[in-house]
A and B are shown apart, each in its own frame.
Chain A
Amino acid sequence: MNIVHGDNRAIASLFSALGRRLLQAALVALLVGTLCFFMTRMLPGDMAYRIAAGRYGYDMVTSAAADAVRHELGLDRPLLSALADWWSKLWHLDLGLSQVTGQPVIHEIAEQLVPTLKLSVLALGLSFLIGPTIGLLAGLRPGGWLDRSTLTLSVLLRALPSFLLGLLLVLIFSVQMGALPAAGHDDHGSIMLPALTLALGLAAVSSRVARDAMVSVRSSAYFAFALTKGLTLQQALLHHGIRNVAVPVISYLGVQLVYLIEGVVLVETIFAWPGIGHALVHAIFGRDVPMIQGTALILGLMFVIFNSLIDVICSLIDPRRRS
Chain B
Amino acid sequence: MTAYTDSSAPLPSSGRRFSLVSRRGAGIVLLTLIAVFAIFGPWLIAIDPARQELSRFLESPSWAQPLGMDQLGRSMLARLAHATRLSLSMAVLGVLSAAIPGTLIGVAAAWRGGWIERVLTALADAVLALPGLLLVLLLAAFAPGQFWPLYVGISLALWVEYFRVVRAASHILLASPQVEASRLLGFNTIYLLRRHLLPVLLPRIFTLMRFGFAGAVLAMSALGFVGVGLQPPTPELGVMMIELLPYYSEAPWLIGAPVLVLFMTLLGLVLLAREEEAA
Contacts and interface: CB of A to CB of B under 8 A. Distances in A.
Q: Tell me if chain B binds chain A.
A: yes
Interface of A: 23-25, 27-28, 30-32, 35-36, 38-39, 42, 140-144, 155-156, 158-164, 167, 171, 205, 208-209, 212, 218-219, 227, 233, 257-258, 261-262, 265-266, 269-270, 280-281, 283-285, 287, 289, 292, 296, 299-300, 303-304
B122 to A, nearest CB: 7
A262 B132 contact: yes
B4 to A, nearest CB: 7
B222 A156 contact: no
Contacts of A143: 7, 11
A219 B259 CA distance: 41
B137 A265 contact: yes
A175 to B, nearest CB: 9
Nearest to B143: A42
Contact of B131 (A38, A262, A284, A292): A262
A158 B278 CA distance: 12
A258 B262 contact: no
A278 to B, nearest CB: 10
Interface string B111-142: 00000000000100111011111100111111
B75 interface: no
Interface residues of B, number: 44
A265 B10 CA distance: 42
B131 A299 contact: yes
Interface stretch (B47-55, B97-105, B192-200, B266-274): B266-274
Interface of B: 1, 4, 7-8, 10-11, 122, 125-127, 129-134, 137-144, 218, 221-222, 225-228, 238, 241, 245, 248, 259, 262-263, 266-267, 269-271, 279
- Residue of B139, B226, B227, B259 contacting most chain A CB atoms (<10 Å): B226
A27 B270 contact: no
Given A24-B129, A270-B226, A32 B138 contact: yes
Contacts of A141: 4, 7-8
A163 B4 contact: no
B122 A292 contact: no
A158 B131 contact: no
Given A42-B142, A143-B7, A158 B228 contact: no
A303 B139 contact: no
A300 B138 CA distance: 12
Counting chain A CB atoms within 10 Å of each CB, which of B11, B125, B133 scores highest?
B133
A155 B270 contact: yes
Contacts of A167: 245
A313 B206 CA distance: 33
Given A227-B1, A289-B141, 20 more contacts: A28-B129, A36-B138, A39-B138, A140-B4, A140-B8, A142-B8, A144-B7, A155-B271, A156-B267, A205-B279, A233-B4, A261-B133, A265-B133, A269-B226, A280-B137, A284-B141, A284-B144, A285-B144, A285-B228, A296-B130
B126 A28 contact: yes
